[in-house]
Amino acid sequence: MVTCNPGQPSVRILGEKFFIKFRGEEYCCQAIAANGRVLYQIRLDSSVLYITKTVNQHGIPFWTAIPQDLKLRRMVAELGRQLEDHLIQTLCATTTV
Amino acid sequence: MCYYNSIKVTLEEYNQLKELETVVAFLNEEFVIHKGFDYGDYPIIRPTGKGHETERVKMQWGFLPPHLRNSEDVKRFRNGYKDETGRYFKPYLTLNATSEELLNKMYKEAALKRRCLIPSIGFYEWMHVQVVGKSGKLLKTPEKFPYLVRMKDQEEFYMAGVWQPWFDAEAKMITNTFALITTVANSLMKQIHNSKERMPTILPGDLAEAWLYKDLSEQDILDIANYQVASQDMTATPLDKDFLKKENPNDRVVYKEVPELSYG
């Protein structure tokens, strides 16, 4: 197996790593600032999922995977909810678009 | 209005989300540990054909020879299969190409015409160790202990590879695929990858350049493909057996069952 580091992206790590519970398992998360937005990196077994909060045409927020993946919509919505619960409980903070 | 996840968002929001995709593409390359048997895409370096210019492009790790016609052929090629008479055909493992057989049929044309470099910050290998069971006797199956191997003074290094465009005649699509070249293990890698005693062909700057650009003879190709980096230039870190699931997969772990490595 091989890992690769093809260059530094222009991003900033925000705060410490934390864990959220999802379907009985704990997953490691990291907030990352990129292009003036906050991305959440969720480390799965051997891959990484990135999610962010966005807003639809009516101003209603929803969570989406980056890049978009229709198959993951429900899972991402659930992960987003868990993430928000975690932030509210530990930091008394919430997420914004 | 544009659609993201089939939900309507404003054009401004859509553009921002698309920009984040570029960021994520970079982040993915930095954070993800690529497992060869996933046959996923991996960034490789190849010459553009314009002077000494190179480009990083993603290709599928797992060399596919041109005679395979469609995805079903690929599945059989990679996993093996039984024909109607029950005869079993073994799978071909083409993630790695051994340096000694590089000029044999499958890789020859690619070795002569389509050489590439595979950038890496480290690779993983497993040491097989016979351990004593609860009964006090040696267990039949050795235990496997993973190591992260890096270069001492080079954060990123280059491994030799060959690439091959593969045409899926059914889907009418071309997929570029590559194999990483392996050579005989040096003394350090013999201790770690003790089941096969192989390691990637890691090239220093001058050989990496020659591999990409020079019009090499068959002997030159074999000489470079067989190049063995020195043990003293490498560093190896034992990892948790479940490192892929860890928050920090590359954290050092100490095992009492595992002998100390010698760099000499």
**How far is the alpha carbon of B182 from chain A, nearest alpha carbon, in Å?**
12
Interface contact B120-A9, CB threshold 8 A = no
DSSP code, position B153:
T
Region A80-85 average pLDDT? 92
Q: For residue range B76-127, list pLDDT tens digits in order.
A: 999 999 999 999 999 999 999 999 999 988 999 999 999 999 988 889 999 9
Closest CA to A25 of A69, A91, A82, A94: A82
Query: What is the structure's pLDDT at B126?
Result: 93
Interface contact A28-B247, CB threshold 8 A = yes
Query: What is the structure's pLDDT at A28?
Result: 87
- Residues of chain A with Cβ-Cβ distance to B2 below 8 Å are none
Task: Look up tokens 């995977």; give the residue.
Answer: A65
Query: What is the structure's pLDDT at B29?
Result: 63
Query: Model ipTM?
Result: 0.79
Average pLDDT, chain A: 81
The residue type found at B140 is K
Query: What is the structure's pLDDT at A16?
Result: 81
- Residues of chain A with Cβ-Cβ distance to B118 below 8 Å are 2, 4
Polymer length of chain B? 264
- Residues of chain A with Cβ-Cβ distance to B28 below 8 Å are 48
Task: Look up tokens 């695929």; give the residue.
Answer: B177
- Residues of chain A with Cβ-Cβ distance to B6 below 8 Å are 70
Interface contact A67-B21, CB threshold 8 A = yes
Query: What is the structure's pLDDT at A6?
Result: 39
Per-range mean pLDDT, top range of A1-5, A8-12, A54-58, A77-81: A77-81
User: At residue A1, does pLDDT exceed 60?
Assistant: no
Interface contact A57-B42, CB threshold 8 A = no
Q: C-alpha B168: how far from its chain's center?
A: 23
User: At residue A95, does pLDDT exceed 70?
Assistant: no
Region A16-21 average pLDDT? 86
Nearest to B9 among A45, A50, A54 (CB): A54
Query: What is the structure's pLDDT at B93?
Result: 92
Whether A7 and chain B come into contact, CB under 8 Å, resolves to yes
Which residue ranges of chain B lie beneath pLDDT 50?
A: none
Q: For residue range A41-59, list pLDDT tens digits in order.
A: 998 866 789 999 999 888 8
Interface contact A67-B24, CB threshold 8 A = yes
Interface contact B20-A52, CB threshold 8 A = yes
In B, minimum Cα distance to A9 occurs at B26
Query: What is the structure's pLDDT at B12?
Result: 85
Interface contact B122-A3, CB threshold 8 A = yes
Query: What is the structure's pLDDT at B8?
Result: 81
Interface contact A68-B4, CB threshold 8 A = yes
In this prediction, what percent of chain A has a pLDDT beyond 90? 28
Q: What contacts B87, CB < 8 A, 6 or more positions away? A: none
Q: In what order do the strands lie in the sheet with A12-22?
A: A12-22, A25-34, A37-43, A48-55, A61-65
Would you place residue A8 in the very low, low, confident or very high pLDDT band (cuts 50, 70, 90)?
Answer: very low
Q: Tell me which residues of chain B, numbers 175 to 204, contact chain A at a CB-CB cutoff of 8 Å.
A: 180, 200
Whether A54 and chain B come into contact, CB under 8 Å, resolves to yes
Give B78-127 as a DSSP string. HH-EE-TT--EEPPP--SEEEGGGTTSHHHHHHHHH-EEEEEESEEEEEE
